[in-house]
Amino acid sequence: PEDVDALEAALYQLLEDDALRERCRANTTEIAARYRWSTVLAPIVEFCRNPVRAPDLLGVIDQLGASPRRSWKDRGGLRQDVRIVTHLFKEGGVGLAAKKAVGRARRLWTR
Tell me the C-alpha distance between 107 and 79, whole Å.
21
Q: What pLDDT, on a 0 to 100 scale, did the predictor assign at position 82?
A: 83
Q: Enter the pTM of the model.
A: 0.34
Is residue 12 pLDDT above 90, yes or no?
yes
| Confidence at 108, pLDDT banded by 50, 70, 90 | confident
List, in order, residues 6 or more apart from 62 with CB less than 8 Å away: 68
Q: What pLDDT, on a 0 to 100 scale, did the predictor assign at position 58?
A: 56
C-beta of residue 24 within 8 angstroms of C-beta of residue 13: no
Q: What pLDDT, on a 0 to 100 scale, did the predictor assign at position 87?
A: 87
Is residue 15 pLDDT above 90, yes or no?
yes
